[in-house]
Amino acid sequence: MSLASPKSHEPRAIIADFGHRLPRAVEETPFTLFVCGPSPQTKSQSAILRRYVSTEIKKSISGVTVVWGEHRDFRGQVGDIRLRKFNDVTKELHFAHNQSDLVVIFPDSPGSFVELGIFGMNARVCGQLVIVFDIRHKNRKSFVIDAMGKAARNLNATIKFVKYRNRRLVLRQIEILVRKKQEAKYNSNSYVSR
């Protein structure tokens, strides 16, 4: 009795089918994006950018849950953004460390400077931390960029200098990072489940 060899097109069809299903499987991988920055009530460029990036990422990439940590007593959700009330930065650090797949921070307020300081000193969080500075501050001497940013970068945080007013470009850069991290999470989960 001989084993029938598969037809030559069957392996290709299987691979092609896998290639079509993989992007969808990656996008369906649950992914938590923790977005920090100024309160939306400030109406600053960074607050507007924070809301824009959060809302658009949620629309464009399925499987992503966007979370904001706030200190005021916000409840529930703002659109598709989940709000978590943190009454101290230790709880925010715990959330960033244990429940977030990617942390993006737009440091432009006293609260976001505290978040940057605490996240930027934690090696585990820095591996998934993206600090987005306005390009206007790139060549200025400041403690936030020169000390806090550099310390976080030394622990593998990603630093981006962007034009806050160019929201679409900022969104595109964050989307690329989210998709890469989501794919890495999918691949990691695939190996673990075997």
The pLDDT score that the predictor gives to residue 174 is 95
- The pLDDT tens digits of the residues spanning 24-52 come to 666 778 899 999 998 877 888 899 999 99
Looking up tokens 């959330």 gives: 95
Write the single-letter amino acid at 11: P
| Confidence category of residue 2, pLDDT binned at 50, 70, 90 | very low
Q: Is residue 8 part of a domain?
A: no
pLDDT of 47-94, one tens digit each?
Answer: 999 999 999 998 888 889 998 876 555 555 555 677 777 777 888 899
Is 6 within a domain? Answer: no
Q: Tell me which H or E stretch contains 89.
A: helix 89-98
Confidence of residue 1 (pLDDT cuts 50, 70, 90): very low
Residue 52's domain is classified under what CATH number?
3.40.50.2300
- 81 domain residue, yes or no: yes
pLDDT in tens, 147-193: 999 999 999 999 999 999 999 999 999 999 999 998 888 887 665 54
Q: How many helices (H) and strands (E) does the chain have?
A: 8, 7
**Tally of structural domains, the chain:** 1
- Residue count of the chain, please give it: 194
pLDDT of residue 142: 87
Range of the domain at 90: 31-189
Mean pLDDT value of segment 9-20? 63
Q: Is residue 120 part of a domain?
A: yes
Task: Take residue 39 and report the two structure tokens written for it.
Answer: 């309160």
Query: Which of 136, 133, 179 has the alpha carbon at shortest distance from 157?
Result: 133
Q: What are the phi and psi torsion angles at 121 (to 5°)?
A: -105, 0
Q: Are strands 129-134 and 77-78 parallel, antiparallel or unpaired?
A: unpaired
Residue written as tokens 């991290």? 181
Cα-based distances in Å from 56 to 32, 115, 172, 182: 15, 23, 10, 16
Q: With respect to residue 76, please indicate whether it lies within any of the assigned structural domains.
A: yes
Give the pLDDT confidence of 89-129 residue by residue, as tens digits.
888 899 999 999 999 999 988 888 989 999 999 999 999 99
